[in-house]
């Protein structure tokens, strides 16, 4: 018995390195997690040199573009219409509470002023402006959170170790130089967390690039510790498509709501961390000139509601144009979502996934004794809610307070609606005991 216990303990030590297990989020960090959950809606911005090629952010590797040729794009990057105040205002109007900006995507170009590489928007372009600084100042001024996307992979740098992607960009050394690349990333992260005010989250992407090399050590513990040391409230997020690692503060899902896996990137279990789903507004993250296939405002609102019902935030993406403007259709969608949020925001912000889970008709969000029933898709006037162990005191249409009749039986309550719901989201507010 004793030996079995000993070998079990030994196994635990081997399986879980001490440092990884020792992550204890600080009070500030725990508070930031709750505030993050309250925000519910953010806008992702994918912007880099790839905007100029207008075929999405993976063009460099998809077309095996030579890294030295690709870098020449920088000499022509002059987004003359870039206006951070205009971006932030358009995004704020949607009701989004934070922006996540790509500081450096897989192409390797830094969209901020960095001492650690000249391949950045200030030193390598005629534009010479630190767009991140302008954006950060404007976010802080207009009172909206700022999160920073940071790629773990780099298809340009010679010291970046090759993974599954970026092999055809002409870099000479597949082995790279990990120590040099790791120091570079940490130096840049230090700049990002020092020069741009309060940062809500660092949003990593690219760990999946070494999926054929599972022993690859990204040295994340130390990197995460650096982030938490520089800004204790900064949330660490990593879009690695697997179960969260110690040191991470939120769990991300790409192109799917938690627990769903239509895109094939989200087979992982849903953890107890705050959740975020990122999704594209058309079909691509970076600007793609031929992709006008934007989701309708109805679809976008319903996706946001479906995320909230699943207790997740929605991070909805826009790919700004090479001229520095947000695509017109995207701005229009933002405005229309904002109109809806003006009325219904109360049933989204600050809520948690409600006690009646997701159903094909929709689901619920909850705040205190209020349960908001979000009906997205129902061809019926009656709606059964499995609320056997709760007492419903009142039910009313959220939009105008019209009372809703209901019946109780042993399994729960049935709402008796005035008509078959046709709105984007028919919200019934229940007062629970
Ligand atoms: O920044 C956006 C994208 O550029 C990046 N993440 C979002 C937020 C991204 N693009 N595609 N992916 C992530 C999906 C990666 C898919 C993978 Fe694979 C499947 C990685 C490993 C298996 C296919 C094969 C792509 C790389 C190797």
Comparing C-alpha atoms, which of 186, 180, 184, 178 is closest to residue 223?
186
Looking at residue 52, its pLDDT comes to 98
Centroid of ligand 1 to alpha carbon of 209 (angstroms)? 8
Centroid of ligand 1 to alpha carbon of 26 (angstroms)? 32
Mind listing the pLDDT tens digit for each residue in 267-310? Answer: 999 999 999 999 999 999 999 999 999 999 999 999 999 999 99
Spatial contact of 200 and 36, defined as CB atoms under 8 Å apart: yes
Spatial contact of 83 and 91, defined as CB atoms under 8 Å apart: no
* Measured distance CA(395)–CA(61) in Å, rounded: 55
Mind listing the pLDDT tens digit for each residue in 60-107? Answer: 999 999 999 999 999 999 999 999 999 999 999 999 999 999 999 999
* Measured distance CA(35)–CA(27) in Å, rounded: 12
Which atom of ligand 1 is nearest to 56's Cα?
4
Residue closest by Cα to atom 20 of ligand 1:
208
Interval 184-212 mean pLDDT: 98
Stated pTM of the model:
0.95
% of the chain with per-residue pLDDT over 70: 95
How does residue 219 score in pLDDT terms, banded at 50, 70 and 90?
A: very high
Centroid of ligand 1 to alpha carbon of 424 (angstroms)? 31
Mind listing the pLDDT tens digit for each residue in 16-46? Answer: 444 455 899 999 999 999 999 999 999 999 9
Spatial contact of 171 and 165, defined as CB atoms under 8 Å apart: no
Which atom of ligand 1 is nearest to 57's Cα?
4
Interval 372-397 mean pLDDT: 97
Looking at residue 21, its pLDDT comes to 58
Residue 137: phi and psi, rounded to 5, are -60, -40
* Residue 57 CB less than 6 A away from ligand 1: yes
Mind listing the pLDDT tens digit for each residue in 293-352? Answer: 999 999 999 999 999 999 999 999 999 999 999 999 999 999 999 999 999 999 999 999
Which atom of ligand 1 is nearest to 317's Cα?
8
Q: With a cut of 50, say whether residue 12 has pLDDT above it.
A: no
Mind listing the pLDDT tens digit for each residue in 113-165? Answer: 999 999 999 999 999 999 999 999 999 999 999 999 999 999 999 999 999 99
Looking at residue 167, its pLDDT comes to 98
* Residue 256 CB less than 6 A away from ligand 1: no
Comparing C-alpha atoms, which of 298, 233, 254, 325 is closest to residue 36?
233
* Residue 249 CB less than 6 A away from ligand 1: no
* Widest pairwise Cα distance in the chain: 73
Cβ count within 10 A of residue 113: 18
Cβ burial 231-243 (10 Å sphere, 16+ → b, else e): bebbbbbbbbbee
* Measured distance CA(396)–CA(184) in Å, rounded: 57
Cβ count within 10 A of residue 371: 24
* Measured distance CA(38)–CA(50) in Å, rounded: 33
Q: Decide: residue 193, CB within 10 A, 0-12 exposed, 13-18 middle, 19+ buried.
A: buried
SS (H, E, C) 136-179: HHHHHHHCCEEEEEEECCCCCCCCCCCCCCCCCCCCCCCCCCHH
Interval 226-252 mean pLDDT: 98
Which atom of ligand 1 is nearest to 58's Cα?
4
DSSP string for residues in 111-144: SS--TT-S-BTTTSSSS---HHHHHHHHHHHHT-
Ligand 1 pocket, mutate which of 100, 150, 167, 205 (most atoms under 8 A from CB):
205
Centroid of ligand 1 to alpha carbon of 212 (angstroms)? 14
Looking at residue 13, its pLDDT comes to 40
* CA 35 vs CA 32, 41, 118, 274: distances in Å: 5, 12, 36, 10
Mind listing the pLDDT tens digit for each residue in 114-128? Answer: 999 999 999 999 999
SS3 228: helix
Centroid of ligand 1 to alpha carbon of 17 (angstroms)? 28
Domains of the chain: 24-350 (3.20.20.80), 353-432 (2.60.40.1180)
Cα within 13 Å of Cα(235), Cβ side: 27
* Measured distance CA(77)–CA(73) in Å, rounded: 6
């Amino acid at each position: 018995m004793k030996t079995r216990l000993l070998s079990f303990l030994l196994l635990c030590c081997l399986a879980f390195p001490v440092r990884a297990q020792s992550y204890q989020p600080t009070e500030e960090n725990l508070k930031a997690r709750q505030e993050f959950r309250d925000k519910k809606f953010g806008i992702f911005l994918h912007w880099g040199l790839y905007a100029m090629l207008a075929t999405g952010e993976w063009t460099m590797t998809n077309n095996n573009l030579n890294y030295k040729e690709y870098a020449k794009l920088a000499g022509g990057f002059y987004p003359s219409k870039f206006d951070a105040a205009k971006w932030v205002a358009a995004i704020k109007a949607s009701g989004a509470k934070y922006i996540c900006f790509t500081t450096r995507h897989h192409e390797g170009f830094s969209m901020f002023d960095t001492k650690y590489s000249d391949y950045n928007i200030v030193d390598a372009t005629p534009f010479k402006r630190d767009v991140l600084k302008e954006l950060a100042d404007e976010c802080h001024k207009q009172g909206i959170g700022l999160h920073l996307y940071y790629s773990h992979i780099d298809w340009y740098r010679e010291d970046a170790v090759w993974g599954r992607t970026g092999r055809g960009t002409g870099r000479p050394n597949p082995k790279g130089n990990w120590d040099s690349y790791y120091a570079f990333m940490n130096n840049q992260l230090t700049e990002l967390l020092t020069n741009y005010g309060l940062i809500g989250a660092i949003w990593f992407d690219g760990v999946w690039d070494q999926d054929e090399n599972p022993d690859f050590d990204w040295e994340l513990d130390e990197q995460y510790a650096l982030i938490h040391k520089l800004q204790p409230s900064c949330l660490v997020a990593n879009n690695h498509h697997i179960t969260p690692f110690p040191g991470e503060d939120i769990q991300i899902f790409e192109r799917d709501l938690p627990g769903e896996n239509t895109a094939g990137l989200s087979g992982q279990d849903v953890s107890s961390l705050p959740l975020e789903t990122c999704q594209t507004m058309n079909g691509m993250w970076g600007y793609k000139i031929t992709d006008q296939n934007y989701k309708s405002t109805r679809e976008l609102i319903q996706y946001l509601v479906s995320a909230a019902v699943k207790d997740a935030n929605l991070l909805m993406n826009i790919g700004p144009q090479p001229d520095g403007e947000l695509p017109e259709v995207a701005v229009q969608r933002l405005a229309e979502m904002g109109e809806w949020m003006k009325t219904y925001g109360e049933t989204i912000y600050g809520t948690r996934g409600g006690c009646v889970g997701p159903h094909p008709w929709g689901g619920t969000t909850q705040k205190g004794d209020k349960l908001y029933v979000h009906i997205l898709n129902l061809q019926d006037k009656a709606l059964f809610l499995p609320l056997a162990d709760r007492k419903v005191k009142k039910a009313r249409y959220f939009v105008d307070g019209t009372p809703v009749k209901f019946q109780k039986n042993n399994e729960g309550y049935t709402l008796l609606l005035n008509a078959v719901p046709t709105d984007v989201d028919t919200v019934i507010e229940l007062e629970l005991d």
